[in-house]
Amino acid sequence: MSPARQKTGEAGPESGAALRERLRVYGERLVGGTDGVFHFPIRHHSPACALHLKRALAELRPAAIVLEMPADFEPLVPLLAHQETEPPIAIVSVIDRDSRDRFAPAVLGYWPISDSAPEWVALKAAGAIGASLHFADLPSGVRLSLHDEGEQEASAARLTPQVLTDEDAITYSNYAQALIRRVGARDFNEVWDRLFESRVDDSDWRQFFADVGRDCLLCRETTSERQMTEDGMLAREAMMRDVLAEAKAAAGGRPVAAIFGGIHTPALLDPPSDPQRRPENGQVAPSHAADRAYLVRYTEADLDLLNGYASGMPSPRHYARLLAMAETGDHAASRLATETFLDLAEALRRREGSLPPALPTLTEAVRHADALARLRELPGPGRSEILDAARSCLLKDEDLFYGSDILETLHELMTGAGVGKVPKEAGTPPLLDAARRRAEALRFSIDEPSVKTRQLDIHRKARHRAASRFAHAMALLETDFATLKRGPNLATAKGMKPVLFEVWTYAWLPSVEARLTALAATGDTLEAACVFVLREAIVALENAGRSDDSEAAVALLGDAAKAGVLAHAHDIFPHLDQALAADADFSRLVRALARLEGLWRGRRVLGLSRTAALAPLVETAYRRTLDLIPTLIDAPAAAMPADARALADLYHLTQRLTTMGGADETVPVQGQEGAAPASAPRVDRAVFEDRLRGLIAAMPQGALAGVLATIGFLSGWRSEGDVAQVVRSGLEAASLSPQERCGPLDGALAVSAVLLRRSEEVLGVVDAFLARIDEDSFISLLPALRKTLSVLDPDEVDALAARIGSLQSLPAPLDLDMPHVGESEVRDNLARSHALTGLIEARGLGHWLRDEREEEAQR
């Protein structure tokens, strides 16, 4: 039973009238200030709470202000009160999990402060009226350790920074959930908006806080005691009471303002009688401060509740604006909606490719928001009404899962893109410090911001490998510090000769520091920040409906491996498994397999020799591509060339996977010979060939037929004549388009580029065909033919030319020299050319020549 209920001494269910009376009395006690303490129950980031608090503090002029913030943040008060400090900012708190292991990720917590945070208002007011400030919560380290213990099992979640201002206790209480259902709202935030943010213009702050307090009391009374103990809430509240008592004693009878999340206020007003919950006897030590706490700049986008950080309220810019309008007394009920829609129209006008809504549509949207507010019995439209009106009036189509341009722009506007400011004295965030120290240790020259080039011998030198990982990690964090100019390409299916060196250009620009500072709240070390960015990328893929994009998933795996953080990036593997299982795009899956195989080949240099998960992943991807082979026959005609090339690639991959076994094609890596190698992926070539035969039986046409015949020929179960036959039937199908006619040859060359030179029959077919057709047919076929033959590299072209020369008994080698032109002739021609140019320019047609020249220059 709750403390308040205990006091009333009731046993049975409370009647409606009794409950109402109890709530009324509770509300009066909060703001009555009978013992000198005025209680302000708040929701973090709530503009209505902030504004009413501001008015109350100006009226009461308390001697002391007690805040819910962790006690170990108190040294940061001078920085917070600094005149250069501007929200959004955040206090980041760090504890090291293991001081011996320098790569062990730290546990992070952060306390974001927005423009509309009541705490911010209180901090400013304390300075203005000379009140003393007291931070009353347990040191942040205690909560972080609790959080860490709770998360130990879910290892992937361990690196998630914890929001110290989270309000889950209120949001998910049974009372709040019942309230949501009762008013037909979509979430707690909407209910809160209707109940309290709509009252930002009220004149009576006492009534306002009494009402907030009552609702929070009911939330607390419908939260189980077990949950409150588990969250460490009861222990924290014992500390809050102690600090409040000290502040009260020090104030000597002058007023004290107690500003706490509304869920805690009941425990401050009516302490529990049970002494077991005092922290001295409890399980946590109050002296457990964080290892570090520092102030960083924050962004409005990070503040957004919907952005996955759960740091309070959604749409921070909207609420900041509500506060600003209400503060200047400029808040006519519907003005905020009107202004927002006008901003939206302007933003859409600026945005390329968007059609801004017409004026009548905008008018309708404003009317709609207003009428919705009236239907919901609100004084004016709030956040939900604005979004609802936009959805009804501006979205002229089905509201699909992936959303619309207009609504996205509106969300961006209401979220805002603002970045806070912290004074110089706030120092360097650890992430930036760590990056700088690592760069220096790895001999990147970062003292001056000029662009430098560095070659890394990644196979033979361990230090260079470390430098490569650092550069890749910085690239993954999008710092623009380093760009890879040359290096091994893991993305291609064709066999690659091992590339020994990576060549990077890099520069330590101010923008690098800016980006690292922005990432400061995501991690204390490069590794933690990388893991965070990778997780964001996975979420972004899922949100974009691309959770089945196996190629993108493998690319992330490659990024993690190259940055050396794969061991920490646990989220990737389940995502990858899911993508590989769900991907139905054959060519994309083959590209994913090629990347995986590339990782396998480069496993030593990437430090993945002992990663047992890699070989099974290659096997899974391979099996999955085999499963999709039968579907190729039904694929749309437009996908055929890509599918055929992918099948040829799969053939090459099969060759490599079956022949290389466990052997590593890369140069042995010094210092790693002792590593126990993970066993090589095992693939079954017989199944591959079975599937191909099955496909042949379905009589494919075009490029696919060329690919299959050539693979069959090279594998020995089809003859050279079969290939020649397939190529000929394609070329001679006069009713098809030139591209389709070249399809079989295309496919054949995708499997083996040397086919024409090596196979007399195929070359004979092509040669005979070209000799037979007339000039017009040849010219119409030429573009497609050129494209087909463009897969041959220059050496192959020379060799083939020689072969054709001998076949046609031409004088060998083909004479490609220019006929001899004398000096005088060149001079005359140049003079003529100049004269012609002058003539063309004189007729105003000079741009013809220029266009051509520019194109040439670009080529």
Partner 1 sequence: MRDESCKTYLRRPAESRYEDELQRLAETDEGPRPPGWRLSPKAVRRFVLGDEKQGLSRKFYGDDALVERAIVSLMGEQGLMLVGEPGTAKSMLGELFSAAISGASDLLIQGSASTSEDAIRYGWNYAMLIAEGPSRRALVPSPVMQAMEAGQIVRMEEITRCPPEIQDSLISILSEKTITIPELGRATAVRAAPGFNVIGTANLRDRGVNEMSSAIKRRFNFETVSPIADRTFERELIEARVASRLAGQTIEPTLPADVLDVLVSAFSDLRSGRTAEGVALDKPTAVMSTAEAVNVAHSASLEAAYLADGVVTGAHMARQMAGVVLKDDEADIRKFQAYVDHVAKDRARSSKAWRDFYDVARSVGRQGEGR
What residues make contact with partner 1 under the rule CB under 8 A?
A: 184-186, 358, 361, 364, 367-368, 371-372, 374-376, 384, 388-389, 391-393, 395-400, 578, 581-582
- Residue 78 or residue 574: which is nearer to partner 1 going by CB? 574
From the CB of 361, what's the least distance to partner 1, in Å?
7
User: What is residue 136's three-state secondary structure?
Assistant: strand
Please give the DSSP secondary-structure letter assigned to residue 845: -
Minimum distance of partner 1 from residue 334's CB (angstroms): 14
Shortest Å, Cβ 594 to partner 1: 24
Q: Residue 145's CB: how many other CB atoms inside 10 A?
A: 18
What is the spatial distance between Cα 593 and Cα 615, in angstroms, rounded to a whole number?
11
**Closest by CA position to 317, among listed 421, 200, 420, 415:** 415
573-599 exposure pattern, b = at least 16 Cβ within 10 A, e = fewer? eebbeebbeebebbbbbbbbbbbbbbb
Closest approach of Cβ 473 to partner 1, in Å? Answer: 32
Name 503's bridge partners: 455, 486
Residue with smaller CB distance to partner 1, 397 or 823: 397
Alpha-carbon Rg for the chain in angstroms:
35
CB of 179 or CB of 529, closer to partner 1: 179
CB of 554 to partner 1, least distance (A): 18
| C-alpha dihedral sign at 260, 262, 264, 266 | positive
Indicate the residue among 288 and 391 with the shorter CB distance to partner 1: 391
Least Cβ distance, residue 395 to partner 1 (angstroms): 6
Shortest Å distance, C-beta 526 to partner 1:
32
Beta bridge partners of 38: 257
Helix, strand, or coil here: 134?
A: strand
Strand pairing class (452-457; 162-163): unpaired
- The smaller minimum CB distance to partner 1, of residues 367 and 411, is found at 367
Nearer to partner 1, 54 or 318 (CB): 318
Nearer to partner 1, 408 or 673 (CB): 408
Shorter beta-carbon distance to partner 1: residue 406 or 745: 406
Nearer to partner 1, 367 or 460 (CB): 367
Least Å from the CB of residue 396 to partner 1: 4
User: Which residue type, as a one-letter code, is found at position 131?
Assistant: A
Q: Quick one: angle between helices 572-582 and 586-601, nearest 10?
A: 140
**Closest CB to partner 1 among residues 581, 779:** 581
Q: Work out how close the CB of 523 gets to partner 1 at its nearest, in angstroms, rounded to a whole number.
A: 28
* Distance separating alpha carbons of residues 657 and 614, to the nearest angstrom: 14
Contact 103, 525 (CB under 8 A): yes
What's the min distance (Å) between Cβ of 460 and partner 1? Answer: 44
Number of H helices, E strands in the chain: 38, 11
Q: Which of 180, 205, 57 is nearest to 127 (CA)?
A: 57
Strand-pairing partners, residue 41, are 260
Q: Quick check: 742 and 784 in contact, CB under 8 A?
A: yes
Is the CB of 187 or the CB of 689 nearer to partner 1?
187
Smallest gap from residue 214 Cβ to partner 1 (A): 23
Burial of 218 (0-12, 13-18, 19+ CB in 10 A): buried
Which is it for strands 452-457 and 501-506: parallel, antiparallel or unpaired? antiparallel
Whose structure tokens read 């409370």? Answer: 14
DSSP string, 340-369: HHHHHHHHHHHSTT--PPPHHHHHHHHHHH
Overall residue count recorded for the chain in this entry: 859
For the CB of residue 574, give the shortest distance to partner 1 in the complex, in Å.
10
**Please, are residues 678 and 612 in contact by the beta-carbon 8 Å criterion?**
yes
Shortest distance, position 375 Cβ to partner 1, whole Å? 5
What's the helix, strand, coil split of the chain in %, to 5?
60, 10, 35
Q: Is 149 exposed, middle or buried (0-12, 13-18, 19+ CB in 10 A)?
A: exposed
| 178 versus 371: smaller Cβ distance to partner 1 | 371
Instruction: Give least dist CB 185 to partner 1, A.
Output: 8
| Nearer to partner 1 (CB atom), residue 376 or residue 459 | 376
Q: Which is nearer to partner 1, 392 or 655 (CB)?
A: 392
Closest of 705, 724, 706, 704 to residue 641, by C-alpha = 704
B/e letters for 684-713, b = 16+ CB within 10 Å, e = fewer, are: eeeebbebbeebbeeebbbbbbbbbbbbbb
Q: How far is the CB of 618 from partner 1 (least distance, A)?
A: 21
Between 493 and 635, name the residue whose CB sits nearer to partner 1: 635
